[in-house]
Chains A and B, each alone.
Chain A
Amino acid sequence: MDLPAVHAQFEQACLIFSQPATRKEGERIITRFRSTPNILPACKYIIEHTQKDDVTFHAVMALKEAVVREYSLHPRADIHAFRDWLLQFVSSRVEQMPGFLVSTICHAVAVIFKRGCLDESPQEKEAFFKGITAMVNGAMNERQVALSVFSALVDEFSSDRASAVGLPYNFHVKSRKTFEEGELPPVFLIVVQILQHLMSTGTAMRDEKDVHLLTTCMEVLSKCLSWEFVSADDNPLLGSLAPNSNYRARARHLGSFPTSWRDLLIRADFIDMFFQLYHMIPDKTWRLAEKVRTCLIQLAGVHGAVFQTTDQEGRIVEDDMVQRSYIGRLLQNYLKLVEGFMASDPFNSVNECSDELVCITSMATKIIQTYRLRVIAAVPEFLPFLNELGKLNTACYAIKGEDEDFWETGAHEEGDELLDLWAQLIEQAEDYAEEQVALRSTGHNQQDFDLPQLNQFLTVVAYHIFETYVNMRLEAAKHSIDDEDLGEEMTDDYMYEEQLVAVGIIARMDPEKCLGKLQQLINDRLAHVQAIFNGNNPQTNAMPYLSEHLHWLALFTGHILAHPSRGEIPEIPRAIMAMSARCSESGDLAVSLATTLMNVLDVVSVDADSPKLEFCSPLLTETLLWFVERWSESYLFVQTGSPTLDRAFAPQFGGPHVLDFVLRVIQETFVIWHGEEDLLMQIVNIMNTYSKREAIRNSLLTSDKFETLIGYFLGNLDRLPAGVHSPLIESITTIASKCTDVAVKTHFFTRLTEALEQRLISVLHNPHFSQKYQDSEIIQHIVGTMELYSGFVVAADETNTKQIYAAVSKYFDSFVQLLDLYRNHTDVEKYILQIFANLIRCQSFEELTEADCDKLYAAVMALLKTYAKNTAGRVRMIRASDDEEAVEDLSCIFDILAQLMASQYEGMTWEETLAKRKSRSGTANPGQPGSTGPDVAEVVFYGVGVVAPLVTDQMLQFPELCKDYITLVGNMVRYFPDRLSALPPTLLAGLIQALDFGMHNVMVEVARSAFEAMTTLALFAWDEGAHPVGVSLDFLCPHLDKLLTKTLSMFLFMEFDSGLMDSGGEALFALTLARPQTYTAMVHHLVQQQPAPVFAQRLEAALLGLHGSIAQTLQTPGNADRLRAARSEGLVAGPWLGPYRKRLESALMDVRGFLRVK
Chain B
Amino acid sequence: MSAPEEEHHEEFEAVGAGASETYPIQCSALRKNGHVVIKGRPCKIVDMSTSKTGKHGHAKVHLVATDIFTGKKLEDLSPSTHNMNVPNVIRIEYPLLDIDDGFLSLMKEDGSTKDDIKVPDNEIGQQIEEGFAEGKELIVTIVAAMGEEHALSFKEAPKN
Contact = CB atoms under 8 A, between A and B. Distances in A.
B91 interface: yes
Interface stretch (B19-27, B64-72, B102-110): B19-27
A874 B29 CA distance: 29
A70 B89 CA distance: 72
B58 interface: yes
Interface residues of A, number: 45
Interface string A707-734: 0000000000011111000000000000
Contact of B80 (A676, A775, A780, A874): A676
A620 interface: yes
B156 A675 contact: no
Contacts of A868: 1-2
Nearest to A614: B58
Contact of A619 (B2, B55, B90): B55
A773 B8 CA distance: 14
Interface stretch (A92-100, A109-117, A475-483, A1106-1114): A475-483
A488 B52 CA distance: 10
Contacts of A783: 31
A873 B155 contact: yes
Contact of A674 (B25, B28, B54, B158): B28
A612 interface: no
Contact of B10 (A770, A827, A865): A770
Contacts of A486: 51-52, 55
Interface residues of B, number: 48
B5 A872 contact: yes
B23 A777 contact: yes
Interface string A528-555: 0000000000000001100110010000
Contact of A824 (B25, B57, B91): B91
A868 B2 CA distance: 8
Contacts of A547: 56
A483 B33 CA distance: 31
B81 interface: yes
Contact of B28 (A543, A675, A776, A825): A675
B56 A617 contact: yes
A776 B55 contact: no
Contacts of B88: 774-777
Nearest to B82: A675
A157 B19 CA distance: 78
A860 to B, nearest CB: 15
B2 A869 contact: yes
B10 A675 contact: no
Contacts of A482: 54
Contacts of B157: 873
A824 B141 contact: yes
B59 interface: yes
A677 interface: yes
A617 B59 CA distance: 10
Contacts of A720: 28-29
A618 interface: yes
A450 B158 CA distance: 86
Contact of B23 (A677, A773, A776): A776
B155 A874 contact: yes
Given A776-B86, A875-B155, A718 B93 contact: no
Nearest to B92: A824
B141 A869 contact: no
Interface-centre pick from A543, A770, A774 (highest chain B CB count, 10 A): A774
Interface-centre pick from A481, A677, A721, A865 (highest chain B CB count, 10 A): A721
Given A544-B54, A774-B89, A775-B19, A675 B5 contact: no
B53 to A, nearest CB: 10
Interface of A: 480-483, 486, 488, 543-544, 547-548, 551, 617-620, 674-677, 718-722, 770-777, 780, 783, 824-825, 827, 865, 868-869, 872-875, 885
| CB-CB nearest 3 A-B residue pairs | A675-B80, A617-B56, A873-B155
12 contacts: A481-B55, A481-B56, A482-B54, A486-B52, A544-B54, A544-B57, A676-B80, A771-B19, A773-B10, A775-B88, A776-B89, A783-B31
Given A780-B86, A824-B141, A827-B31, 12 more contacts: A544-B56, A548-B55, A617-B55, A675-B58, A675-B80, A721-B28, A774-B88, A774-B91, A776-B88, A777-B25, A824-B93, A868-B2
